[in-house]
């Protein structure tokens, strides 16, 4: 008897482009409104000290979040996409494993909080934050099944559903508190987050459950399957853990090295600037989700010439967008910060001015790191990430006591630059790039030109800074086309399925 072939769905180029376009469109509509309309309003309402305390606890709990997944979602998405008949058995085993991992996660967070001498308020916040992280982990796992089943339109809605609930809940709470003359507290925000994640996870889980029943779901727990999945996912889990540490230790270390309310205020300052960096990173993440399947398919087919071309094109597009945004944000940093935050001061502005340059390095890693992940070259990348963790902790320890949030921003910038350079060198070696000096000079010239354009726009539109901000970004993009860093053919090639 012949072995049945795995079920693999194929998509046409038009279908691929529609799915990608819809994903980006939905996220562009919802998430900026969440970040600037709700999250920013919450920060302004509760104040820098309270939000800083929440940000500290969030970063503390986030350090352990890899225990909630261990690379299972990433592995599951690929496995289900290759053979949909695996859904029933994988759903049983992985769901049960994630329940166990959730218990371990909560226990380690509690032990860490006890050793860190958390206050009663911090313990209360930790309960909400841990609950939110567990629910988010299950939501992402259910979404990995949707992705594997090629339900991309449904997954696009699931990617913003929790934010839609948060917009409605927090908007209602902020509105009612304002008109009732009551005080909106940071714990209201944390509780709303749990509720939003819970409802979203139940909806996503219900959809996956329905498809599993159609494929003959019966509960079973395969220990050998879980052992194999965890073993194969370990390098990815380590990479995620290391990147989480050097991305999230800053807020916690500020509060650790600067005690009391001054420390919480510094955390609040750093959190405000970091939220804006997070908003920029959202677009880079969406770009990386397009690149990963394209790199994986080309590498599997040993189309290394196409891999090199795709790497160059994607790096150029990502670099151009990151530099155009970062240069404009840096030049108009005073106007942006004072527009968004009621407690804004000089340190807010300086911290944001440093952090936004990190976006260029982070964007680079989204290209090179995605390629290395697709190629299974994570051992060397993890070694660089470990070095990044060490550098980040050392710089935070040296800089934060004297410079507070600004010192943490400097540590972040230095760490991200190290990661960008290290990952780029690994890609150069993997793809055997030989001539990159002339291209480097073009990149440097574009960087300088974009910064000059932003300063000129600030002079020309002195009384209309928002127009100047938008104009500087558009002019930088025009410069990229003039320098032939990107063109319409490059974009078409990048999006080709």
User: Where is pLDDT greater, at 389 or 432?
Assistant: 389
pLDDT of 188 > 50? The answer is yes
Residue 292's pLDDT band (cuts 50, 70, 90) = low
Q: Please, is 483 exposed, middle or buried when counting C-beta atoms within 10 Å of its C-beta (0-12, 13-18, 19+)?
A: middle
| Residue 426, CA distances (Å) to 63, 373, 438, 466 in order | 26, 12, 19, 40
Mean pLDDT of 424-448: 79
Domain extents for the chain? 42-221
Q: What is the pLDDT of residue 20?
A: 54
Per the document, the length of the chain is 497
pLDDT of 394 > 50? The answer is yes
DSSP reduced 3-state for 452? helix
Query: Would residue 376 be called left, alpha or beta, if left means φ above 0 and alpha means ψ between -120 and 50 degrees?
Result: left
Cα 331 to Cα 143: distance, rounded to the nearest angstrom? 39
pLDDT of 314 > 90? The answer is no
pTM above 0.85, yes or no: no
φ and ψ at residue 167, rounded to 5 degrees: -60, -45
Lowest model confidence (mean pLDDT) among 44-48, 100-104, 219-223, 367-371: 219-223
Q: Which residue has the tokens 């340190």?
A: 347
pLDDT of 337 > 90? The answer is no
User: Where is pLDDT greater, at 207 or 3?
Assistant: 207
**Which stretch, 35-39, 169-173, 297-301, has highest mean pLDDT?**
169-173
Write the pLDDT tens digit of every residue in 216-274: 767 777 777 778 777 877 777 787 778 877 777 887 788 788 877 787 788 888 888 88
Cα 371 to Cα 304: distance, rounded to the nearest angstrom? 12
Q: Taking Cα atoms as reference points, which of 467, 208, 473, 479 lies closest to residue 329?
A: 473
Write the pLDDT tens digit of every residue in 56-96: 788 788 778 778 877 777 677 766 766 777 788 778 888 88
User: Where is pLDDT greater, at 346 or 490?
Assistant: 346
Residue 195's pLDDT band (cuts 50, 70, 90) = very high
Percent of the chain with pLDDT over 70: 86
Q: What is the pLDDT of residue 105?
A: 93
Lowest model confidence (mean pLDDT) among 95-99, 307-311, 367-371: 307-311
Which of the 8 DSSP states describes residue 119? Answer: -
Q: What is the pLDDT of residue 13?
A: 37
Cα 152 to Cα 263: distance, rounded to the nearest angstrom? 43
DSSP one-letter string for 296-362:
HHHHHTT-HHHHHHHHHHHHHHHHHHHHHHHHHHHHTHHHHHHHH-TT--HHHHHHHHHHTTHHHHH
Write the pLDDT tens digit of every residue in 1-39: 444 444 444 443 334 445 556 666 777 777 777 777 787
Mean pLDDT of 431-448: 76
| Residues 193 and 166 sit within 8 Å (Cβ to Cβ) | yes
DSSP one-letter string for 35-58:
IIIIIHHHHHHH-HHHHHHHHHHH
Q: C-alpha angle 478/479/480, rounded to 5°?
A: 90
Q: What is the pLDDT of residue 434?
A: 66
**Tally of CB atoms within 10 A around 338:** 13
Tell me, rounded to whole angstroms, the distance of Cα 222 from its chain centroid.
Answer: 32
């Amino acid at each position: 008897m012949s072995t049945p072939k795995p079920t693999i769905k194929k998509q046409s180029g038009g279908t691929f482009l529609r799915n990608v376009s819809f994903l980006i469109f939905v996220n562009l509509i919802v998430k900026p409104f969440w970040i600037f309309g709700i999250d920013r309003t919450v920060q302004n309402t509760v104040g820098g000290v309270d939000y800083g305390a929440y940000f500290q606890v969030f970063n503390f709990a986030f350090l352990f979040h890899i225990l909630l997944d261990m690379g299972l979602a990433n592995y599951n998405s690929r496995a289900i996409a290759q053979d949909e008949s695996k859904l029933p058995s994988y759903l049983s085993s992985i769901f049960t494993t994630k329940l166990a991992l959730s218990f371990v996660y909560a226990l380690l967070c509690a032990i860490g909080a006890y050793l860190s001498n958390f206050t009663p308020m911090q313990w209360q916040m930790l309960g909400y934050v841990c609950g939110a992280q567990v629910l988010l982990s299950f939501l992402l796992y259910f979404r990995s099944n949707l992705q594997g089943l090629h339900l991309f339109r449904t997954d696009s809605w699931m990617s913003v559903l929790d934010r839609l609930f948060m917009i409605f809940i927090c908007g209602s709470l902020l509105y009612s508190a304002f008109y009732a003359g009551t005080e909106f507290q940071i714990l209201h925000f944390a509780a709303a987050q749990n509720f939003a994640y819970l409802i979203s996870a139940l909806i996503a889980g219900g959809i996956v459950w329905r498809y599993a029943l159609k494929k003959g779901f019966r509960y079973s727990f395969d220990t050998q399957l879980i052992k194999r999945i965890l073993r194969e996912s370990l390098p990815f889990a380590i990479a995620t853990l290391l990147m989480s540490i050097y991305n999230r230790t800053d807020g916690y270390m500020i509060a650790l090295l600067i005690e009391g309310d001054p420390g919480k205020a510094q955390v609040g300052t750093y959190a405000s600037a970091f939220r804006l960096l997070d908003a920029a990173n959202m677009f880079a993440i969406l770009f990386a989700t397009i690149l990963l399947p394209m790199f994986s398919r080309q590498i599997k087919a040993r189309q290394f010439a196409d891999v090199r071309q795709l790497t160059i094109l994607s790096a150029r597009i990502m670099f151009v967008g990151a530099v155009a945004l970062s240069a404009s944000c840096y030049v108009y940093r005073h106007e942006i910060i004072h527009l968004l935050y009621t407690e804004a001061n000089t340190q807010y502005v300086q911290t944001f001015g440093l952090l936004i340059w990190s976006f260029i390095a982070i964007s680079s890693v989204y290209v090179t790191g995605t390629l290395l992940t697709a190629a299974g070259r994570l051992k060397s990348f993890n070694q660089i990430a470990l070095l990044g963790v060490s550098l980040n902790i050392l710089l935070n320890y040296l800089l934060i006591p004297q410079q507070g949030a600004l010192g943490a921003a400097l540590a972040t910038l230095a760490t991200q630059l190290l990661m960008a350079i290290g990952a780029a060198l690994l890609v150069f070696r993997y793809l055997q790039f030989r001539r990159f000096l002339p291209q480097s000079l073009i990149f440097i010239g574009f960087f300088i030109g974009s910064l000059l354009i932003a300063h000129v726009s600030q002079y020309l539109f002195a009384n209309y800074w928002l127009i100047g901000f938008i104009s500087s970004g558009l002019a930088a993009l025009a410069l990229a086309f003039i320098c032939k860093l990107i063109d319409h053919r490059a974009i078409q090639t990048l999006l080709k399925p």
